[in-house]
Amino acid sequence: MIGYSTIGVQDMAKAKAFYCDLFDADVQVDVGRLAMIGTSTDAPMVAVCEPFDGNAPSCGNGAMIAFPGASKDEVNALHAKALALGATDEGAPGQRIDDVFYGGYVRDPDGNKLGFYFFG
């Protein structure tokens, strides 16, 4: 389904470190202004990039990238790890929709909104 999602950043080194550390992943492709981070090029990746037009990156209103957790505990761990790596809290993990959806939210160091979720 999804090959990769791209996030605009200001500091490539800081962004690569944040996402590699957060997901225990590696840079799979690095072409200077864009780096793809994941566990392999055959699996979904997050691409961090300096915008092509040279303007500052901006966060879309209502835009978010969500990453699945294998359990509520993993959602909690990802949320806490992101905060420890410099993200800001955008909503503590908790049950959002009855017993169906559990999620937590952060903003990465560049202000991009990330969600961590578990169905069940």
Co-location of 113 and 70 in the same domain: yes
Whether residue 100 lies inside any domain: the answer is yes
How does pLDDT run across 22-74, given as a tens digit for each residue?
A: 999 999 999 999 999 999 999 999 999 999 898 999 888 889 999 999 999 99
Expressed as residue numbers, the domain containing 73 is 65-119
Residues 44 and 81 in one domain: no
Evaluate whether residue 60 is within a structural domain: no
Is 38 found in the same domain as 71?
Answer: no
Domain CATH for 73: 3.10.180.10
For the entire predicted model, the pTM comes to 0.91
CATH number at 8 reads 3.30.720
Number of domains within the chain: 2
Indicate whether 75 and 107 sit together in one domain: yes
Whether 29 and 70 share a structural domain = no
pLDDT per residue as tens digits for the range 19-35 = 999 999 999 999 999 99
84 with 113, same domain: the answer is yes
- If asked whether residues 37 and 82 sit together in one domain, one would say no
Q: Do 101 and 95 meet the contact criterion of CB atoms below 8 Å apart?
A: yes
- Is 57 inside any structural domain? no
The per-residue DSSP string of the chain comes to ---EEEEE-S-HHHHHHHHHHHHT-EEEEE-SSEEEEES-TTS-EEEEE--TTSSPP-PPTT--EEEE-SSHHHHHHHHHHHHHTT-EEEEEEEEEETTTEEEEEEE-TT--EEEEEEE-
